[in-house]
Chains A and B, each alone.
Chain A
Amino acid sequence: MEKYINNYVIVAIFIVIGILLPVVALTVGRLLRPNKPNDEKKTTYESGNEPVGEGQVRFNVRYYLFALMFVVFDVETVFLYPWAVAYKQLGLFVLAEMAIFTGLLLIGLLYAWKKKVLKWNSI
């Protein structure tokens, strides 16, 4: 039990160190770096031209479709991992079950493929 807690203490310590480095480095940087802001410096970069319109432009809906596909297959991995860990103890039966589960998802992938979701046609 002690070992179990200690391991997660280390994980927490790593996260704390990870947060501390940017905080410390940026605070030290603030003391070292010059700060002379003016209006030209603070404009948005657009290859040297005056920025046209909003910066947060509309973007391709395809990104959203990829995100949806990602959610589906990432959930699949959530099921695959415990299955894989326990596979040595389990028999042919679970292999068949996983084949059915993955098969269903692959049909979904095939459907997306045929619907040309995976085809990229602009930016």
Chain B
Amino acid sequence: MGAWLDETLTWGHALLFFLWGVILLLVVLGFVTYAIFFERKVIGWMQYRIGPNRVGPWGLLQSVADITKLLIKEDTIPRKADRALFILAPALAYVPAFAVLAVIPYTQKLYFADINVGLLYYVALSGISTIAIILGGWSSNNKYALLGGMRSAAQMISYEVPLVISVVGVVMLSGSLNLRSIADQQGDWFWQWNFLPQIIGFVVFIIAAVSELNRTPFDLPEAESELVAGYHVEYSGFRFAFFMLTEYVYVYAIAALTTVLFLGGWHAPFPFLDWVPGIIWFLLKFTSIVFFLFWIRATLPRIRIDQLMGLGWKVLLPVAILNVFLTAVYMELFVK
């Protein structure tokens, strides 16, 4: 990828970039399909169940069957719904989820866009999905959907602030917003990766990220027991599938971003393990974060909405700001 980036742009190159983008899209769709399968399997095992095991060998085709079913389901739009916005919302939610993947580097050589404001681009685009969720809830013209959408938006904007402030410490240490150089600058030993020097930022980032993903224990927008399904009650068929797809593409994006920002990206934990290709290390770290997300879903109960807002504004935000100044003082004392 890197070599083509330096050359003059031609139609051939643009086509090549497009093909690489399509390949990434297929990889992401494959990830989503099997992430859903493994989530159900893992939660099944944790609860002494077997999980899906009927469709295909070991149930491997379960998600494929589910997606096919969604594709051939009738698509109903309620009479009272605002038709244009109703149709727009799922697509608007999905587009930024995929567009943020452009800036994520996988190894030293394998990356897509290498832009200097990579992190800012990620943060800015992922905020757009909030608008789509409000639109979906509002245009359904349904009470549950409206409340779910509003809750979801309130939660997402409340946790976006600690999320973006918690990575400021990382930016300060590496002096760059370029995700490639942030990953590159982390040391060869695993204790030199950002998660230990930035342990406060790391913890805040993980909590806020889980909340941004609307996953348990912060899955209030979808609280099945109180709001039926939140903002996508009225959605059916493939439009519903796009909201689900968005959620899992963000799981992919956040897991990759955490790997790059805090877990050393493609670096091996010890220098003598350098002969293992970087992509293997990246995938190992990436998978453990995805597993971690499934794991907490199986073990933690949902928290109440007053606790949720209190945690975001009264605990995470001050702690994240404190982390910025602790890092600044640390750099004044030890780095300069």
Contacts and interface: CB of A to CB of B under 8 A. Distances in A.
Contact of B309 (A21, A87, A120): A120
A6 B2 CA distance: 11
A81 to B, nearest CB: 6
A41 B309 CA distance: 37
Contact of A42 (B9, B79, B121, B325): B79
Contact of B25 (A2, A10, A21, A43): A21
A33 B71 contact: yes
Main secondary structure of the interface of A (DSSP, over half): helix
Between A3, A30, A67, the greatest number of chain B beta carbons within 10 A of the residue's beta carbon is seen for A3
B160 A57 contact: no
A7 B113 contact: yes
A28 B102 CA distance: 26
A73 B168 CA distance: 14
A85 B114 CA distance: 17
Give the one of A28, A70, A84 with max B CB within 10 A: A84
B50 interface: no
A19 B310 contact: no
Interface residues of A, number: 76
Given A13-B21, A25-B238, A95-B332, A87 B8 contact: no
A89 B313 CA distance: 31
Could you tell me the dominant secondary structure of chain B's interface residues? helix
A10 B112 contact: yes
Interface string A79-121: 0110011111000100100110010001001001100001111
Contacts of B8: 2
Contacts of A121: 306
A29 B75 contact: yes
B84 to A, nearest CB: 14
A22 to B, nearest CB: 4
B224 interface: no
A7 B114 contact: yes
A74 B161 contact: yes
A60 B149 CA distance: 13
A43 B18 contact: no
B237 A29 contact: yes
Nearest to A72: B161
Given A9-B17, A32-B71, A109-B317, A59 B5 contact: no
Interface in B1-50: 4-9, 13-14, 17-18, 21-22, 25
B153 A92 contact: no
A92 B332 contact: yes
Given A35-B74, A92-B332, A11 B313 contact: no
A21 B78 contact: no
Given A14-B112, A70-B160, 6 more contacts: A3-B6, A9-B14, A10-B17, A42-B76, A63-B150, A81-B171
15 contacts: A2-B8, A6-B7, A7-B114, A13-B18, A17-B98, A22-B94, A29-B71, A43-B78, A44-B78, A55-B145, A59-B150, A66-B309, A95-B332, A118-B314, A123-B305
Interface of A: 2-3, 5-11, 13-19, 21-23, 25-26, 28-30, 32-37, 39, 41-47, 51, 54-57, 59-60, 62-63, 66-67, 69-70, 73-74, 76-77, 80-81, 84-88, 92, 95, 98-99, 102, 106, 109, 112-113, 118-121, 123
Interface of B: 4-9, 13-14, 17-18, 21-22, 25, 71-81, 90-91, 94-99, 101-103, 112-115, 119-121, 123, 138, 140-147, 150, 153-154, 157-158, 160-161, 164-165, 168-169, 171-172, 175-177, 228, 233-234, 237-239, 242, 305-306, 308-310, 313-314, 317-318, 321, 324-325, 328-329, 331-332, 335-336
